[in-house]
Chain A
């Protein structure tokens, strides 16, 4: 019996098992405490759509053999620049959102190629280097936010120089996806726009992974020697993986920000990578293996847990920032666990 249970846990993944049990436990507690459950579920679905694409960004990086993309902030910064520029151009509604992507994606492609090139120089310690690439890019952009020649007063501090730490995008691109195709049934609501947007990018990634190039990229990640023996240029496919991941990071922050309602500049992007990494790991991915179902399951579990634990924690113990503490504990714990599972060498 115990053997069987162990086998089941092994095949399901330890982090996924723990988080799932915890999630179920907190959900039961919420029902028990009489917290209205339907709004919570609505919230979970919104959070899935909000965060899903940033988590999806992990898939190409993992499959290309780069590992968990801790350098996600690089893509996030590209996305932020896209959105800021769209506001600077005084666009509103969907046009502002699409313009953000039109600007952000080419930028992310350029950054991604450079990022991939750098990661090719440090094979074997990509994750460590990627983390610091993310940190450095964020720090560099701290200067950038001060110096970039944006003139729109919604973006700039009223006095002095530089952009605000938090830019309100109310009336710009806020909720363009969330409000499109929004269905409200009693206290339960669901926004088709947001979910379709996520589904669209998942589909693109899925199609890519079934293309000749996608398969080659997977082979490079699965076994570098094998790929070389099949005549592939390993470095090229790793750059493709890094670039895709960066682009998805840029698109991901746009989806996130339009739902959140604010653009957070300066140090805020620094830790976006960790949340995304934790989510994909909770979904059952490892540093060598990931697929789209891991993204969906992981994002739902991780974000769902955060959504439910907030009201529960507030009821049980007042004061303190329980949701934040849960988020950081879980994300760091899961990342730590995953990194201990990396077997040395290739």
Chain B
């Protein structure tokens, strides 16, 4: 047996020509907690998919590089095989059956069997369960993770923190377990539970199990990890020993990249510094992106960025203000109160929204470009409609002219205004969404994830379009994006959202360390401790 439990050497992977992992190597010793740190999309999940032999890897042409377990090269073809080789995973979303007891969950598909009369006659298949020894094993595993509850309790109804420990107990109950992967295990836990979990991880490591700890929380890395590997944009940035690094240094490494600022000069309106949109104590119940008390002031004529890691709530702000998810709080537009939870009202008051869910919310995929562009303005502002008493007819001519103008203005590449939007490329679809929003003549334009899922060239065009709208028409834009580099390149001020609240507001040229700390929610703490 070699020195390392796991070695992954020069692993590269691309999906349909897009490289998502470039020559990444990591090595983990027995008893080591090795943290893997990176933003969303840095390649953490892909690396784990490779380790577990997920079919998504093999169905897209496999990967390059080598995986060695205990010094031997292995080709892991399925999660089942990974399990047999002694690799376990504690998932972010629990993989437990709620209606089963803890014992049954822990022992699922690895039940301990005992003979009975029928099985002696009819063979293996008829063996019964040995409940006692199963319970004994489960109890032992639960004790190891420090959970003292009835092992026959049903999983449904357990507190979230306990479920996490049941998952861990299930993994360490496997006899040959030698490597355990924790995928952002503290994301759903309270601070207390998280602290418990970290302690348990340490205990497990001390018993000789190697642990891969995937996270974006820097303080947790500092607390529990021995070594840390930082990924960024699919490449390995650095592998460090904990002693040699600090929260600030890691934050820098995680975020750091060249920021390309798009040439822009401030319009004259920006100088007035007057507030156009003020948000006070906004709460939005958007599943997975909940907002818990956000207050922000957006100034007239600026591009205001909202960043943060996914799941922290940044997307909830625009969705809440537009009335797409239930919201409470106070929003003032030009000093006047905006009625919340009223989409039509928000649109009529001069807000427009380009949704992050382009194909779901943003477009009618089977309708023509011109209908998509004109639709919302028609419904909300009675544009492109001719009235005949109580009846109305669509003014086809006006609609066509407007669509043609927009196609020209935004350079939408299409076969004509009647083409269905489903057939357009991602970038052009996004432009149709923007055109639809512009048709409303908005005072404030919300844009969420404008470049998600579109190729590099088109990304740039979309961003340039936004900058142009801002510069030439003085339009106030609130842009939400997971891609920090992108918001930093176009925005005037950037709010970082963490745990549903504003962690802080930064200038685009603020240091990488500040960004990294804010993204991971460690900024306030680091400041308290005087690190920054």
Contacts and interface: CB of A to CB of B under 8 A. Distances in A.
A231 interface: yes
A164 interface: no
Contact of B394 (A211, A219, A229): A211
A234 to B, nearest CB: 11
Nearest to A226: B364
B199 to A, nearest CB: 42
B430 to A, nearest CB: 15
A227 to B, nearest CB: 9
A222 B394 contact: no
Contacts of A212: 378-379, 382, 385, 392, 394
A243 to B, nearest CB: 16
B376 interface: yes
A314 interface: no
B353 interface: yes
B361 A229 contact: yes
Given A228-B343, A230-B380, A211 B392 contact: yes
A228 B362 CA distance: 10
Contacts of B345: 231
A228 B324 CA distance: 7
Interface string B349-365: 00001010100111111
A213 to B, nearest CB: 7
A223 B324 contact: no
B363 A231 contact: no
B360 A230 contact: no
Contacts of B391: 207, 211
B523 interface: no
B365 A223 contact: yes
A215 B342 CA distance: 21
B423 interface: no
Given A212-B385, A223-B365, A225-B361, A232 B394 contact: no
Interface in A212-252: 212-213, 215-216, 218-219, 222-223, 225-226, 228-232
B344 A222 contact: no
A223 B376 CA distance: 13
A219 B396 CA distance: 17
Interface string A177-212: 000000000000000000000000000000100111
B347 A231 contact: yes
B366 interface: yes
B367 interface: yes
A21 to B, nearest CB: 27
Given A219-B364, A223-B365, A226-B361, A211 B393 contact: yes
Contacts of A228: 324, 343, 361
Interface residues of A, number: 20
A90 B525 CA distance: 88
A213 B392 contact: yes
Interface residues of B, number: 34
B343 A231 contact: yes
Contact of B379 (A210, A216, A223, A289): A216
Which of A210, A213, A223 has the most B CB atoms < 10 Å from its CB? Answer: A223
B412 interface: no
A149 B221 CA distance: 83
A207 B375 contact: no
Contacts of A232: 344, 379
A86 B284 CA distance: 57
A31 to B, nearest CB: 40
B322 interface: yes
Nearest to A218: B367
Contacts of A207: 391, 393
A231 B355 CA distance: 14
A231 B344 contact: yes
Interface string B292-322: 0000000000000000000000000000001
A147 to B, nearest CB: 38
A212 B361 CA distance: 20
B379 A230 contact: yes
Contacts of B347: 230-231
Interface string B319-338: 00011100000000000000
A229 B322 contact: yes
Nearest to A231: B344
B248 to A, nearest CB: 41
A232 B364 CA distance: 14
B371 interface: yes
B363 A230 contact: no
A230 B394 contact: no
A212 B357 CA distance: 25
Nearest to A233: B344
Nearest to B377: A230
Contacts of A222: 364-367
Nearest to B394: A210
A35 B351 CA distance: 68
A228 B365 CA distance: 15
Interface in B389-435: 391-394, 396
Contacts of B323: 231
A289 B367 CA distance: 11
Contacts of B367: 218-219, 222
A230 B385 contact: no
A229 B343 contact: yes
Nearest to B359: A223
A210 B378 CA distance: 12
A230 B382 contact: no
A222 to B, nearest CB: 4
B392 to A, nearest CB: 4
Nearest to A208: B391
Contacts of B364: 219, 222-223, 226
B379 A229 contact: no
B326 to A, nearest CB: 13
A216 B378 CA distance: 9
Contacts of B361: 223, 225-226, 228-229
Interface in B466-521: none
Contacts of A231: 323, 342-348, 376, 379-380
Contacts of A229: 322, 324, 343, 353, 355, 361-362, 376
A338 B314 CA distance: 42
A212 B366 CA distance: 18
A212 B378 CA distance: 7
B394 A215 contact: yes
Contacts of B344: 231-232
Contacts of B322: 229
Contacts of A288: 366
Contacts of A215: 371, 375, 378-379, 394
Contacts of B342: 231
Interface of B: 322-324, 342-348, 353, 355, 357, 360-367, 371, 375-376, 378-380, 382, 385, 391-394, 396
- Please list the 7 inter-chain residue pairs (A to B) with the smallest Cβ-Cβ separation, ordered nearest first: A231-B344, A231-B343, A222-B364, A230-B376, A225-B361, A212-B392, A211-B392
Interface of A: 207, 210-213, 215-216, 218-219, 222-223, 225-226, 228-232, 288-289
18 contacts: A207-B393, A211-B392, A211-B394, A212-B379, A215-B371, A215-B394, A218-B367, A219-B375, A222-B365, A223-B365, A225-B357, A228-B361, A229-B343, A230-B380, A231-B343, A231-B345, A231-B346, A232-B344
Given A215-B375, A229-B324, 9 more contacts: A210-B393, A211-B391, A212-B394, A215-B371, A218-B367, A222-B364, A225-B360, A230-B343, A230-B380
